[in-house]
Amino acid sequence: MISPFASACSYHMPAGDEAVDWGKGIQWDGSTAYSNEWNASIATWNAMKKINISKDTLFTIEDLYIVDVYTPTFPAFAGYANKTVSGNNPNTNNNTPYIQINTGTMYSLTSAEKQKTLTHELGHALGINEITISGNIMKQGKSSQTYLGMKDKEVYNCLWG
Ligand SMILES: [Zn+2]
């Protein structure tokens, strides 16, 4: 799953850390209690049109797994991990990249903040790293922004356009 990332793309994840397959798709499986926010996150990124994010079926290969965990003492709302992170993959079926949603801290967020969190993690699955510029989904931290920022789109288009 190594992608030919253009070296000019700033804020990209190390090549191979994304969940995008060779067919320019992410087929996801699993579930989360925040399905409305998750579906809105998928729609936000699918509007960019280059990578098709869709539910895994019997006839496709799973690229991404989403799961809720309850870890109230761990402050992060959610996290994305590539398959090379060993030892804590919650998906026992295989080694696909995964998004973990921490219900132990997520519950305190508004719906918009939950959506921002899920859109952010899905951005990592698309190969986009933390962006340090305000006004972007890929900037770390609590925010009620649910739309993509200028830099979010720029990095996406640099990677996949
Ligand atoms: Zn992040």
pLDDT in tens, 94-143: 678 999 999 999 999 999 999 999 999 999 999 999 999 999 999 999 99
Q: How far is the CA of 75 from the centre of ligand 1 (A)?
A: 13
Q: Which CA distances in Å does 150 have to 67, 105, 127, 134, 135?
A: 29, 28, 16, 10, 8
Cα 123 from Cα 132, distance rounded (Å): 14
Closest-CA residue to 51 (of 111, 114, 123): 123
The answer to whether residue 9 sits within a structural domain is no
Total tally of structural domains belonging to the chain:
1
Q: How far is the CA of 56 from the centre of ligand 1 (A)?
A: 24
**Radius of gyration, alpha carbons of the chain:** 15
Band (pLDDT 50/70/90 cuts) for residue 8 is low
Cα 21 from Cα 43, distance rounded (Å): 18
**Strands 25-30 vs 52-55: parallel, antiparallel or unpaired:** parallel
The answer to whether residue 16 sits within a structural domain is no
Cα 20 from Cα 34, distance rounded (Å): 22
Q: How far is the CA of 54 from the centre of ligand 1 (A)?
A: 21
Q: How far is the CA of 93 from the centre of ligand 1 (A)?
A: 25
CA 161 to chain centre: 18
Band (pLDDT 50/70/90 cuts) for residue 85 is low
The answer to whether residue 12 sits within a structural domain is no
Amino acid at 14: P
Residue 7: per-residue pLDDT: 46
Q: How far is the CA of 55 from the centre of ligand 1 (A)?
A: 22
The answer to whether residue 19 sits within a structural domain is no
The answer to whether residue 7 sits within a structural domain is no
Asked if 19 and 45 touch (Cβ cutoff 8 Å), the reply is: no
The answer to whether residue 131 sits within a structural domain is yes
The answer to whether residue 10 sits within a structural domain is no
Q: What integer best gives the mean pLDDT of the chain?
A: 89
Cα 83 from Cα 64, distance rounded (Å): 10
* Tokens describing residue 82: 């590539």
- For residue 92, what are the domain limits? 25-156
Q: How far is the CA of 121 from the centre of ligand 1 (A)?
A: 6
The answer to whether residue 53 sits within a structural domain is yes
Q: How far is the CA of 151 from the centre of ligand 1 (A)?
A: 14
- CATH code of the domain covering residue 70: 3.40.390.10
* Tokens describing residue 93: 């079926």
Tokens 């579906």 correspond to what residue? Answer: 39
Query: How many separate helices (H) and strands (E) can be counted in the chain?
Result: 4, 5
